[in-house]
């Protein structure tokens, strides 16, 4: 199996940032083998690899930075790249934040799928797990064990009647990603939504691009739901994207996570890549 990029350049010329509210245009270009996924801030003339070495702590999203220039809210787009198996891509944007679109990965999936994939000459590589790797932070747990597949089991626990305790398992293939994950919208609680709005945050957030859960124990906007367990599915969508910061390589292993989020995902990836080199190897994907 060889590395891939897109066949043709394409663009998304609409969309606003969830947190910034800024209008952002995205341009996608084919890239050569071993290029990886790279963002280009055309307004700042800075290229930033979508790699954990460039990730920085940020609230409510995943952010990369180089030379003081940032690209934020990259997780949904990276998730789609991982789901489609895109190894190499140049993404140009003219503002700091990747647009939220409908709150899922579906519109990114549509435009990249339409562009098509092209195989390159070099072999596709994956991270093959040889020994269990575990990470614990308070009540957050992430661990990965050896497997011939790339799979995710995600467990959530929220004090809300529509979520509560849930667990979902998912094997990462393009078909499964399209059928089970890519349409899952982001979610939040109405009390937090209202608080953030009053503070001038989540300027691009609204009832069409996020599932909102109210204090009565209901979905505030059930018309945007695709699945009743969509919040759990969206956590997997986020993790598939965050984990692609591991050198844009898919992890061959079984990942289990409980109550994790963007910061703990990145902490786990740093720990795995930098402190556990004897427990995995980078190999050709056969």
pLDDT tens-place string over residues 238-268:
999 999 999 999 999 999 999 999 999 999 9
107-133 mean pLDDT? 98
Helices (H), the chain: 75-84, 106-115, 174-176, 190-198, 230-243, 262-270
Q: In which band, very low, low, confident or very high, does the pLDDT at 58 lie, cut at 50, 70 and 90?
A: confident
Give residue 57's pLDDT band: very low, low, confident or very high (50, 70, 90). confident
- The CATH fold of domain 126-284: lpxc deacetylase, domain 1 (3.30.1700)
| pTM attached to this predicted model | 0.95
- What is the spatial distance between Cα 55 and Cα 100, in angstroms, rounded to a whole number? 19
Which letter does DSSP use for residue 222 in this model?
Answer: G
Domain ranges of the chain: 2-123, 126-284
Q: How far is CA 236 from CA 103, 146, 181, 239, 267, in A?
A: 14, 19, 7, 5, 17
* Rounded percentage of the chain residues whose pLDDT exceeds 70: 100
What's the pLDDT at 194? 76
Query: For 191-206, what is each residue's pLDDT tens digit?
Result: 887 787 777 777 777 7
- The structural architecture, per CATH, of the domain 2-123 is 2-Layer Sandwich (3.30)
Average pLDDT over residues 158-186: 96
Positions marked active-site: 262
Q: Do domains 2-123 and 126-284 have the same CATH topology?
A: no
């Amino acid at each position: 199996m060889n590395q891939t990029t897109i066949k043709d350049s394409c663009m998304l010329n609409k969309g606003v940032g969830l947190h910034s509210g800024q209008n952002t245009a995205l341009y996608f270009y084919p890239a050569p083998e071993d290029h990886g996924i790279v963002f280009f801030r055309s307004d700042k003339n800075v290229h930033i690899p979508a790699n954990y070495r460039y990730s920085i702590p940020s609230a409510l999203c995943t952010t990369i930075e180089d030379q003081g220039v940032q690209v934020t809210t990259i997780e949904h787009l990276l998730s789609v790249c991982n789901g489609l198996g895109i190894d190499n891509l140049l993404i140009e944007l003219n503002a700091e934040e990747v647009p939220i679109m409908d709150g899922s990965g579906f519109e990114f999936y549509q435009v990249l799928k339409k562009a098509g994939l092209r195989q390159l000459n070099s072999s596709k590589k994956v991270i093959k797990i040889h020994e269990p790797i575990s990470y614990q932070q308070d009540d957050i747990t992430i661990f990965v064990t050896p497997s011939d597949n790339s799979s995710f089991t995600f467990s959530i626990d929220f004090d809300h009647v529509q979520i509560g305790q849930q667990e979902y398992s998912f094997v990462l293939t393009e078909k499964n990603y399209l059928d089970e994950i890519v349409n899952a919208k982001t979610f939040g609680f109405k009390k937090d939504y209202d608080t953030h709005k009053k503070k001038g945050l989540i300027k691009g957030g609204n009832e069409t691009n996020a599932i909102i859960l109210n204090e009565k124990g209901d979905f505030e906007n059930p018309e945007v739901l695709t699945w009743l367990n969509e919040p759990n599915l969206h956590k997997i969508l986020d993790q598939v994207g965050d984990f692609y910061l591991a050198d844009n390589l898919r992890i061959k292993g079984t990942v289990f996570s409980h109550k994790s989020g963007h910061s703990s995902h990145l902490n786990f990836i740093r720990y795995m890549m930098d402190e556990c080199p004897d427990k995995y190897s980078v190999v050709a994907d056969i």
